[in-house]
Structure 1
Amino acid sequence: MPRPPLPIGSWGKISTKVTKTDAKGKAIGHMAKANFRDHDGQVRDVRAAGRTASAAEQALLAKLRDRAKVGQAGALTAMHKVSHLIDLWEKKFEERIVDGTRSPTSLDTYRRAIRNHIRPAFAELRIGEATTQRIDTAITKIKDRSGAPTAKTCRAVLSGMMKIAVRYGAISVNPVREIEAIEAKPKNPPRALTTEEVTLLRASLAADPGAVRADLPDLTTFMLGTGVRIGEALAVLWHQVDLETGTVEITHTIARLPGEGLIRKVTKSRAGERVLSLPNWALAPLRSRFAVGVRLDEPIFADTLGGHRDPSNTRRSLRVALSPVGSTARRDLGLALRAHRRTTRMSRKEVAVTLGWPQTRIELIETGRIKVDAELVSTLLETYGTTLDDTPELRAHLEAALRPAESDKLAWIRSHALRKTTATALDDAGHTARQIADQLGQAKVSITQDVYLGRRAANPAAAEALEQAFDDPGLL
């Protein structure tokens, strides 16, 4: 009966022999060897040298173990460090980006999670040591320290890595699969602008010179009329707009990638590629812009040089335009507080450190872009060595600044609120969730329903239906 073959990644009996002797015939060099069955099925002779037979054998064992960890096909074992698995996962993800099935911006997000959380917590562990309990403990710490959204991202990335480990035979079960799902209530429920808020928004932006310079009035109108993401709006070129039929092609988005800068890339999924019809009120500004003269290969909403705009900078311009300056009194109060700070020769950073506040909060107060109350002003004045009682002119500014301002109604709006407004308007008009998802360029209807549709008021028809169903007085 023939001898059974060696299993893949294993070796046979180790033998040693003397390879060198001194002048007296004493052995001073040894060679250890063994047959090793590589991961391609071939049996190869592996050798290692040492001054003694024991040293040669130990050197050979180390060589054989290392050879068993990674074969010529690049297999993984449970003895590999998780850092090796992380590198492999990133390589696989990059390949899918080249194939067009994954987005480079997603990889940028995942790499931040890897750099800040996953590598510090897991890199030095062996894959076999990354148990469900250890991963669960680490994810819980990430959630407590950085919040549920970050923890969910880390959990998803780790799960993808462990799937590779299972597929390569390093482990038999994905340890992330058994971790409890991370539940987190959204900071704010889906909220869409009302008709009155839309009117106020458009009027406010049109009257703001800074917003006009940033081209925000027409951009927000386009986004409300299409429901596109801000990056998608900034990626549309003039040749993709048909002013006669009133349609626009959405095929790309603008993103900034580390090391690459601003790029125009295809949409995240096939669902993102779509042709949308424009309402007349969104088409009119485009016709006006086209009449002035454009180049068909330029973006509709270009920067001052005719190139693509940065979505992050555009979002910042919108935030500034909608920040609640509110009134002249609020701005005057901010200027007065700034004057008091300067008399103490304190910088904004020094004040922020003293009070434990973000430095941006001091800037927003002094520019009149944040609502304040008497307690906040008193805290600042104490830092500056004075009080409200000592500064009657500042108290007068405060009383005037406390009055509500019309622009406060817009302070909550961000670019995604425009997208939610479009979705909710279509929902109110009776469009199906699938139709709305297609308009927004989303593959999953559940995302559209849970995240983008503003919650409606209580259904009046429900009370009528229940009234008819349970109208027997005996039930009351």
Structure 2
Amino acid sequence: MPRPPIPEGKRGEAHASIDKERQATGKKDYWRGICRYRLTGERKPRTAQAYRTSEAKAKRDAAEAADKALKTRKPEYGQKYSSKTTVLELCLSWYERECNTPDGNRGQSIAAFYTEIVKRPGGKKGTVKIEGSELGKMAIGEVRTSHVERHLDPIRHMSEKAYRQRLILVEAFALAARDDAITGNPARESETIERGHKDEPRPFTPEETQRFWEIEAKYFELSPTADKRFMDITRLTYDLLGRPGEALAVIWEDVDLEAGTVAVTGTVVQVGADGKRKVWRQPMPKEDESVRTVKVSAESLAMLKRRWLAVGKPTTGLVFPNKLGNPISATMFRETWVRVLKGTELDWATPKALRKTGMTRISEKYGDKAAQQQGGHAIGSRVTRKHYVPTVRETADFTDALYA
């Protein structure tokens, strides 16, 4: 009669028999106890054994050895995870993997994901994170799609937050599925989160662009103690069609004064991989396509030469360091931007207006491909039209054909 199968995470009954070889050699512990057990995530059972001086002791200790193995040993088929791994443990493991994967998420992205997994000390009460949630406490083998839906439902109105948490869960459960800890991905079948609709991009008009430079110059003329580097940063940001963090991250190794070019090779981010505030230069921009070399205007080139001479013709280091030699934070840049435009007709604009304006002007003259090349977008990317360059809709005028 075949032995009954042992369920995952369980053991069978212990048995004992005399080991005749040990008995023949005169050893007193010739009773051999064995107990079969099966780790969660494994297909075949294992065997625990114990040699003792009596049948009862051999059976007892073999059973205890099997119980201990079930609690402490990791399965071979699921080398890292088992169906008893909690959702929080799985998500933290996914996060650690992303941090250590060269082609994984960029620093600012992975930090944003971390803040959706772990609760911050002193954070707002009632904020939905994976840590502390009912879903986070569940064993992954028990999770069904309905559990994921119940977790996401209270935050669906916060589309970006819900989008991130669903993405974390989908990718984390995929890790467990590839490790044979679970047979499917319950998060993948959950309802897709649509990210919030954004208004049509609003760049500066040519007149507003000129007005911006005038407002900026007047502000610093009337504020002698204000940091005039802001004007240099905005000019370079406009030429690069850059994100503010990209201009702040330019180093002298990126600048070719003879050729009049600047390479975009990094960005300044304000969070570390642990989700805590930390201003640092990330040695890569937001996307791979964002690495580019741009011919800058005569004004920006003159500014760079002036700064280069003023600091002793350096060959390395940040072009715009703070007093300690560290990167200027994008937050400080935005705060200055708000002060410059406060109370003016352009106070609706954010620092992204420079990038939108530059991409729109180039697109109008040379097409989207040229704007994408200088702005660091993938050629053909829909992001250009969705977020930076407004769509021009021509008026249909073929009425004459209707009444011909």
Give the TM interval when normalised to the shorter protein: 0.7 to 0.9
- Give the one of 417, 420, 437 matched to 2:372: 437
Instruction: Provide structure 2 residue ranges, at least 5 long, that are not aligned to the other structure.
Output: 18-30, 120-128
SS in 2 for 1:123: helix
Mapped partners of 1:454, 1:48: distance in 2: 80
1:65-104 matched pairs, under 5 angstroms: 65-66=70-71, 70-71=75-76, 74-96=79-101, 99-104=102-107
Task: Work out the percentage of aligned pairs sharing the same amino acid.
Answer: 22
- By how many angstroms is 1:113 displaced? 0.8
Q: How does 1:12-411 map onto structure 2 within 5 Å?
A: 13-16=12-15, 33-36=34-37, 43-45=46-48, 59=64, 62-63=67-68, 65-66=70-71, 70-71=75-76, 74-96=79-101, 99-116=102-119, 117-121=129-133, 122-144=135-157, 147-209=158-220, 210=223, 212-258=226-272, 261-267=278-284, 268-294=286-312, 295-324=314-343, 407=344, 409-411=345-347
User: Any idea what the Cα deviations from partners look like across 1:372-403, whole Å, max 9, x if unmatched?
Assistant: xxxxxxxxxxxxxxxxxxxxxxxxxxxxxxxx
Q: CA deviation at 1:87?
A: 2.5
In 1: Cα distance, 2:63 partner to 2:200 partner:
63
Report the Cα distance in structure 1 between the residues aligned to 2:81 and 2:317, rounded to whole angstroms: 49
Shift of 1:64: 5.2
How many positions carry a matched residue from both structures?
Answer: 366
Q: Quick check: 1:32–1:47 contact (8 Å CA) kept in 2?
A: yes
Scaled by the length of structure 2, what TM-score is found?
0.77
1:332: which partner in 2?
Answer: none
Contact 2:37–2:66 under 8 Å retained in 1: no
When the two chains are superposed, the root-mean-square deviation of aligned CA atoms in Å is 3.7
Give TM-score, length-normalised by structure 1: 0.67
Q: Secondary structure at the match of 1:90?
A: helix
SS in 2 for 1:249: strand
- Corresponding residue SS for 1:158: helix
Q: Quote the Cα distance in structure 2 between the aligned partners of 1:32 and 1:104.
A: 54
Taking the aligned partners of 2:169 and 2:242, their CA distance within structure 1 comes to 31
Aligned-residue offset at 1:65: 4.0
Q: Shift of residue 473 of structure 1?
A: 1.6
Q: Which residue in the other structure is 1:373 paired with?
A: none
Please say if residues 79 and 128 of structure 1, whose CA atoms lie closer than 8 Å, have aligned partners that are also in contact. yes
Unaligned runs of 5+ in 1: 19-29, 325-406
Post-superposition CA distance 1:421-451 (Å, at most 9, x none):
1111121113234x43332223471222212
8 A Cα contact 2:270 2:278, kept in partner = yes
Give deviations 1:263-310, integer Å, cap 9, x for gaps: 222224332221111133433433443454542323222323544212
Output the CA distance in 1 between the equivalents of 2:227 and 2:51.
73
Contact 1:31 1:48 in 2 (8 A): yes
Q: What is the distance in 2 between the residues matched to 1:47 and 1:309?
A: 66
Mark the CA change 1:52 to 1:115 in structure 2 (over 3 Å): closer, same or farther: same
Deviations, residues 241-276 of structure 1 (Å, cap 9, x unaligned): 223322111111222334683322222433222111
CA distance in 2, matches of 1:193, 1:420: 8
Aligned partners of 1:7, 1:442: CA distance in 2, in Å?
56
